[in-house]
Amino acid sequence: MPLRELVVDLSPGLRKLDVFSRRDILSRTMEGEWATAFKGRGIEFAGFRDYSYGDDASLIDWKASLRSKTTLIREFEDFKNFTVFMLFDVSDSMLFSSHAKLKCEYAAELIYILADAINKAGDAIGMAMFNDDLINKIAPNIGAENIHNIKINLLNRFNYGGGFDIKKALLLTKSFLQGKAVIMIISDFIGMQEGWEKYIQMMSAEFELIAVMIRDPRDSELPDSGGQLMVKDPYTGRNLYVDSGQYYKLYKEWVSRREIYIANVFRKNRGDFIKLETDKDYLKKIIKFFQNRSKRQD
């Protein structure tokens, strides 16, 4: 389903003062809360070196020493910088809205503000957009050039639409993303293929995962006014007539169970989860999310 028009405001010069200030607020918060949540974990193992007189004997690694036939001690270093990778779902189901903003437009503005804030916090930021394949790939890096590249890709309407294959997107991401990284998956998580949970488990063994669920109000519930509605499968184009009065409660309960299940899959695999709704402002909720994450690290 091609996207005819994309309404995404990423230009500071065109933003109203109160909207533009949100980026500064989030940047300052990210520099504090993000750093505490992810960097406040003490020190990381850096490698071995030969033992010298006066070194702390508790740092001797006896197994490594036996293998190398010399006394080795473990060295550690402060873990100061992170690699953050945004995996952005731009499939057909994200090209939906029951009000002002498409889910993909809402997500694109959020991603840009987060990327800008993460870059200002001194961390490398990268991004890939995906449908049933990876549409583009911006390798993680620090600096204005990467932020510009992310912006250009977010504003390109031809990058939006298509099928959905999160398993393939995760496999391709794993194949090129090296070292420690935080992967933020931004999606409505609609149309998840059977067995997707195993891919989350696989990724969590190497990366830290954060699921950012973007939902339109109509994703969660049908109108309760009664009467027939025509709903369309964004991937197959199939139409279905539904009696909203008859299925309102069942649909709402099913969606709620599904959202809880998706959240639990990430949390059981040492990941995190946040749900954002396109008819509500994301600023307070995303800041609170990182503040709560910081507290859990204390």
12-39+80-297: CATH, from 3.40.366.10, 3.40.50.10540, 3.40.50.410, 2.40.100.20:
3.40.50.410
Burial of 188 from C-beta contacts in 10 A (0-12 / 13-18 / 19+): buried
Domain chopping of the chain, boundaries? 12-39+80-297, 43-78
pLDDT band at 20 (very low <50, low <70, confident <90, very high): very low
Residue 16 has a pLDDT of 41
* Between 61 and 84, the higher pLDDT residue: 84
Mean pLDDT of 161-167: 96
Q: How far apart are CA 151 and CA 50, in angstroms?
A: 47
* Between 214 and 68, the higher pLDDT residue: 214
Residue 94 has a pLDDT of 96
pLDDT at 45 > cutoff 60: no
Is 7 strand, coil or helix?
A: coil
Q: How far apart are CA 80 and CA 147, in angstroms?
A: 20
The model carries a pTM of 0.78
Report pLDDT digits (tens) over 116-132.
888 887 889 999 999 99
* Between 293 and 188, the higher pLDDT residue: 188
* Between 180 and 198, the higher pLDDT residue: 198
